[in-house]
Every structure is written in structure tokens, then in C-alpha cells.
Amino acid sequence: MTFDTIQAIPVSPALGAEIGGVDLSQSLGDDVIAEIRQAWLEYRVVFFRDQDITPEQHLAFARRFGDLVTYPMVKGLDDYPEIAPVIKLEHQTVNFGGIWHSDTTYLPQPPMGAILVARELPPKGGDTLFANIVMAYEALPKAMKERLSGLIAINSSAKDHVAKSREDRQKDMDDVPEPLFAEHPAVRTHPETGLKSLYVNQGHTVGFKGMAEDESAPLLEELFKHQTRGEFTCRFQWRPGSIAFWDNRSAQHNPINDYHGHKRVMHRITLAGDVPV
């Protein structure tokens, strides 16, 4: 893929590209935004390096791609409620969302995507893995595709590992939400590209509608292992000034928890999505 206003350098065969030739602290033309969106759809996740942006500029950039929504499980910044701080402190041993997942699939309309800005990083570690769930679906055997066709996945905000990772972050919330549940197709069709993806995830999917647990559990484990195989993934090493922008409809992510004793602060903005079909 070639572009007129930006550079897009793939970071792995599966997904991910670093975008160059843009300064996100500036107001970007519609042609630049259109090319960033094109690269984002093609590569599932795009990365920006050496960016120095304020919260206001972070918000302005995000709004060029859609409406913003607040993250339901963590309180936003006091002055910028649409920016969710993703923080692990020196004494903490559990990182926020530290498991393979698609964001908030326990909502009726999961987000279209998210834009994460590095604010404070550990001296080493803290990388994020991303997985291409379109590629994962396409690699499934025909018989498995037929088995999944029409299945409805049940998603919960209360699945043990993810719920535990939020505990420390919810202490300053006045009203912690009750567990949330949503049902979505196990195979969803991307509303912009028309491509199908394997839309279950280890962080939130707990079963299949109308299927007994002893049948759904082994099937889910098989799918979780399949969709995060190494050949479907890329690894992003954060540096000061780094930004990641992922398509939540076609990619999963997993922040690696390998920096105990150090602080990591990220700022996240979430983009409104639609009902998966």
C-alpha cells in the first residue's frame, strides 16, 4: 500500500505499521486523516513515534475518527473525563487488562478502537502484543468455520483475571458498575472492510449461548490459543512519545506485565463502535 501524505512501515507480516510524516500536535488535513484511517484499517493497528501531544491534542486527534465514549470501569481524568488513565504503580504486581482481549465486548456496542499515549514508562519492559483476529479466522479449518457460523458468544465484565486487574484502579470510583454482559456473534463482519474476524477473547468471553459449559469451555480454549498464535501477532516496544491506535473490531491486544517495581502511565481514549453483526 502506498500513500501520498504519510509513510506506513509494516512492523510484522501479520499486522501493525509505524506511521511517519505526521505531527499529531498539529491540525491535520482531511487527506492526511483519510490516509491514516486507510492504514489503520489495512494494518489493524498503527503506531506513531516521537510525538509530544497534550491531552487537548490527544482528544482533538481522536475526534477526527469518530465519537468518543468514556471507559466504564475506570474513572477518567478530572479535567478530561474521556481520557482514561491506565496506570501500574511501583508496588503493584497486577497490570490493568493484562490478558489477551478485545476491549469491553461485555457492552452492547463495543468500541471501534482506542488511542493510547505513553506518558511514563518503565526503563525496560511493558511492551504490548497485538493479534490479527481476521487472519485468525481466515486460518481456521472449514469445519470450524461452519461450526462457529451462527454461534453467539456471551461476554462478561466479571471474568476473574480481568476483574482482578481493575480492583486497585476502582478504589477512587464513587459507583463501581455491576457486572455487565453482552452477546455477540462469534464471527463478526467488519462494518468498513467487510472482512470476518474471530470475535471471542480470553479476557471477556465466558461461553456460547445455548451451549453447556462442558462443551463451550474446551471450544473456547481452542479458539483462544488459535487466535493468538505467534504468526498472527506483532509486538510493540513503547518509547517516550509513542502512540498506538488499534481497531478493536479486527485486533486484540495484551499488555505484558514484566516491569514490577516500576511505574507505567498511559492515557487512553476510546472511540464509539456499533453493534457487531
Active site residues: 101, 103, 253, 268
* Torsion angle, alpha carbons of 153, 151, 196, 267, to 10: 0
Nearest Cα residue to 110 out of 76, 155, 151: 155
d(Cα 205, Cα 159) in Å, to the nearest integer? 8
**Given the DSSP bridges, would you call strands 45-48 and 17-20 parallel, antiparallel or unpaired?**
parallel
d(Cα 228, Cα 252) in Å, to the nearest integer? 9
Q: How many CB atoms lie within 10 A of CB 96?
A: 22
Backbone angles phi, psi at 135, to 5 degrees: -60, -40
Cross-strand bridge partners of residue 269: 83, 115
**Burial status of residue 67 (CB atoms within 10 A of its CB: 0-12, 13-18, 19 or more):** exposed
137-141 long-range contacts, CB within 8 A, separation 24+: 137/187, 137/196, 137/197, 137/198, 138/196, 139/226, 139/232, 140/198, 140/226
Q: Report CA-CA distances (Å) from 66 to 38, 98, 168.
A: 14, 26, 30
Phi-psi category of residue 214: left, alpha or beta, with phi > 0 → left and psi -120 to 50 → alpha? alpha
Question: Considering just the CA atoms, what is the radius of gyration of the chain in Å?
Answer: 18
Q: Three cell numbers at 182?
A: 453482552
